[in-house]
């Protein structure tokens, strides 16, 4: 049997509400050389029954007897993948009909790349529009962004099966850190290529994987994120250990007293590696302002005051207050 071009890796846990729509999206792709690996991670809501209701031979159901978590489910599917490339898809997300066709073109155009991704439409549990995720498209800007946050929508990613499974050993970490960790390791092997179209729709809601995390898991994830950020800062931003520690701490635990130091370090790193694109830094500032507001209004006001003083041009690039308040009211 010849290898399909794509193995679509689709973990599912109690995904009855959305998996049918997701499978229909995939089966309606304009490029059809793929297999769909649905990894049912111990679901109790009949998810496997919905999957078995599809007669398309390209769908393969892998049923795990007990819930292994996202990383366990991903690695179980990865072990069974026959495709040259893995295309990720979450069970509650959607994709454009030509997603696979376009990403196949990109793999052929950029044979040196090991990670492909796209912009994504952000939707809620009803499928209503909530915004657009626009990760940087230039490789250098992406690496800079990954020193601060995970910018790539996991559900849009495509990567070589053999490199991830055999060379990198698959996924590691937890539900929060698994994709960020993989991108960071992959980009030490090769380059990344992004697509400036929303090839996927990413659903964010309380029943999603991120919405189910408890406090203990989030604390453990914070430790994992800290290590990823510090490693990326040292690798791609030429940060010292102390600089990497300062940047990562502020991102993970915003504190109204630490903004001047953080901004001074960041500007020093930016000048050291060459200025990243203005819109990339502006989006980072917006995200950090949102995180600061989650701590307290005083923390957010302190950030804006320090940004205006230390980085006036960065401050001027932020969205207008009305835009910020509108986006905040929508929950992103």
- Strand, coil or helix: 17: coil
CATH of domain 6-212: 3.90.550.10
pLDDT of residue 331: 47
pLDDT of residue 11: 98
Question: 110 and 160 in contact (C-beta within 8 Å)?
Answer: no
Token readout for 242 is 């102390």
Question: 23 and 35 in contact (C-beta within 8 Å)?
Answer: no
Sign of CA dihedral 311, 312, 316, 318: positive
Hey, where are the domains in the chain?
Answer: 6-212, 216-329
pLDDT of residue 125: 84
> Low-confidence residues of the chain, pLDDT below 70?
1, 205-219, 319-332
Beta bridge partners of 37: 9, 60
Token readout for 133 is 């995720």
pLDDT of residue 192: 97
DSSP 270-314: HHHH-PPPHHHHHHHHHHHHHHHHHH-HHHHHHHHHHHHHH-HHH
Q: Cα 305 to the chain's mean position, in Å?
A: 30
The tally of CA atoms less than 13 A away on the side-chain side of residue 100 is 26
- Nearest Cα to 116, choosing from 61, 163, 166? 163
pLDDT of residue 214: 47
């Amino acid at each position: 049997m010849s290898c399909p071009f794509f193995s679509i890796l689709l973990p599912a846990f109690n995904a009855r509400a959305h998996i049918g729509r997701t499978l229909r999206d995939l089966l309606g792709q304009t490029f059809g050389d793929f297999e769909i690996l649905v990894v049912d991670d111990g679901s109790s809501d009949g998810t496997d029954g919905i999957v078995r209701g599809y007669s398309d031979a390209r769908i393969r159901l892998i049923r795990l007897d007990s819930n292994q978590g996202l990383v366990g489910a991903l690695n179980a599917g990865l072990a069974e993948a026959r495709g040259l490339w893995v295309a990720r898809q979450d069970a509650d997300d959607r994709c454009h009909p030509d997603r696979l066709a376009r990403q196949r073109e990109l793999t052929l155009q950029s044979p040196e790349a090991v990670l492909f991704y796209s912009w994504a439409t952000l939707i809620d549990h009803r499928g209503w529009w909530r915004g657009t995720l626009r990760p940087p498209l230039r490789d250098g800007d992406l690496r800079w962004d990954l020193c601060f946050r995970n910018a790539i929508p996991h559900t849009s990613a495509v990567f070589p099966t053999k490199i991830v499974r055999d060379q990198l050993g698959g996924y590691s970490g937890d539900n929060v850190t698994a994709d960020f960790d993989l991108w960071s390791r992959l980009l030490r092997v090769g380059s990344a290529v992004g697509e400036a179209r929303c090839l996927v729709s990413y659903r964010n809601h309380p029943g999603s994987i991120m919405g189910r995390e408890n406090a203990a898991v989030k604390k453990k994830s914070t430790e994992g994120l800290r290590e990823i950020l510090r490693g990326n800062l040292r690798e791609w931003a030429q940060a010292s250990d102390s600089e990497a520690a300062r940047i990562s701490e502020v991102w993970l635990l915003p504190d109204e007293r630490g903004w001047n130091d953080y901004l001074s370090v960041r500007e020093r790193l930016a000048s050291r590696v060459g200025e990243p694109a203005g819109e990339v830094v502006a989006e980072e500032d917006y995200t950090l302002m949102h995180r600061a507001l989650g701590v307290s209004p005083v923390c957010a006001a302190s950030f804006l005051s320090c940004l205006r003083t230390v980085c006036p041009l960065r401050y001027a690039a932020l969205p207008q207050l009305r835009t910020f308040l509108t986006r905040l009211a929508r929950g992103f």
